[in-house]
Chains A and B, each alone.
Chain A
Amino acid sequence: MPESILPGTLDLLILKAVSLGPQHGYGVLLRIEQMSGGKLGIEQGALYPALYRLETGGLIEAEWGQSDNNRRAKFYTLTTTGRKRLKEELGRWERLSEGMSMVLSAKGIA
Chain B
Amino acid sequence: MLQKLMAWLRPEKTNDDMRSEMEFHLASRRADLVRNGMSEDEAERQARIEFGSQNRYQEEGRAALGLRVFDEIRNDAGYCLRLLAASPGFAVATISILAIAIGVNTAFFTLYSNYVLKPMAIPRVDQHFRAETRDVNQRGAGGFSEAEMETLAASTRGVVDGIYGVSTIQVLLLKPEQRHAMVSVVSKQYFPLLDGRPALGQIPVNEMQSQPIAVLSSVGHARLFPASQNPVGESIRVRDRLYRIAAVMPATFQGTEPVVPDLWVGLGMQPFLRGEADTGPPRTQVHGFTATGASFTQAATALTSIASRLSRPNGEPIARVQITPMSTMLPEIAEQSLVSLLIFTAFLLVLLIACANLTNLNLARSAVREHEIGMRIQLGASTGRIVRQLLTESVITGTIGAGLGMLLALAGIERAQDMVASMSGIAGLTMQPVTPDWRTFAYSAVLGLLAGVGFGLLPALELSKPKSIGRARPRRMRNALIAGQVAASLVLLLFAGLLTRNMQKLDSIEAGFDLEHTYDLRMDASPQVIAAIEKMPEVEMLSAVSSVPLMGSGMRRNATIAGRRERIQFNHVDEKYLPLLQLPVEGRNFERNETVGRAHVAIISRATAARLFPGRPAIGGTFELDETDAGTYQVIGVVPDVISGFIFMGPDRTAVYLPGAAGQKGMESLLARIPASASTATRALRQMCLDMPGGTGCDPTSLQTLARMQRFPFALAAALAAVLGSIALLLTAIGLYSVVSYSVVQRRREIGIQMALGAMPRNVIFGLLRESSRCVAYGLLAGLPVCLLLSQLASSTVIVWDTFDPLAYALVPLLLAAVAALAAIVPARAASRLDPIEALRQD
Which residues of A are in contact with B by a Cβ distance under 8 Å? 24-26, 29, 43-46, 48-50, 52-53, 55-56, 67, 69, 71-74
Contact = CB atoms under 8 A, between A and B. Distances in A.
Nearest to A73: B24
Contact of A74 (B17, B52, B60, B63): B17
B65 A52 contact: yes
B198 interface: no
A100 to B, nearest CB: 29
Contacts of B50: 43-44
A46 B57 contact: yes
Given A25-B21, A45-B56, A49-B61, 6 more contacts: A24-B21, A49-B57, A49-B64, A52-B61, A69-B28, A74-B21
Nearest to B21: A74
A48 B57 contact: yes
A31 to B, nearest CB: 13
B777 interface: no
B55 to A, nearest CB: 10
B344 interface: no
B24 A44 contact: no
Interface string B19-38: 01110110111010000000
Contacts of A45: 22, 51-54, 56-57
B66 interface: yes
Interface in B454-507: none
Contacts of A49: 57, 60-61, 63-64
Interface string B55-78: 011101101111000000000000
Contact of B52 (A29, A44, A53): A44
A1 B21 CA distance: 27
A44 B25 contact: yes
Interface of B: 17-18, 20-22, 24-25, 27-29, 31, 50-54, 56-58, 60-61, 63-66
- Give chain B's interface secondary structure class: helix
A26 B29 contact: yes
A71 B51 CA distance: 19
Contacts of A53: 64
A89 B439 CA distance: 50
Contacts of A50: 64
B69 to A, nearest CB: 13
B732 to A, nearest CB: 49
B31 A69 contact: yes
Contacts of B20: 72
Given A56-B65, A56-B66, A48 B21 contact: yes
A74 B66 CA distance: 19
Nearest to A41: B50
Interface centre among A26, A43, A67, A69 (most CB of B within 10 A): A26
Contacts of A26: 24-25, 28-29
Nearest to A74: B21
9 contacts: A26-B24, A52-B61, A52-B64, A53-B64, A55-B65, A67-B24, A71-B24, A73-B21, A74-B24
A78 B29 CA distance: 24
A29 B32 CA distance: 13
Contacts of B57: 45-46, 48-49
Among the interface residues B27, B28, B66, which one has the most CB atoms of the partner chain A within 10 A?
B28
Contacts of B17: 74
B54 A71 contact: no
Contacts of B58: 48
B24, B27, B63 — most chain A CB neighbours (10 Å): B24
A53 B55 CA distance: 17
Given A45-B52, A45-B54, A25 B66 contact: no
A26 B22 CA distance: 9
Nearest to B23: A71
A46 B52 CA distance: 8
A72 B24 contact: yes
Contacts of A56: 64-66
A101 to B, nearest CB: 31
A25 B23 CA distance: 11
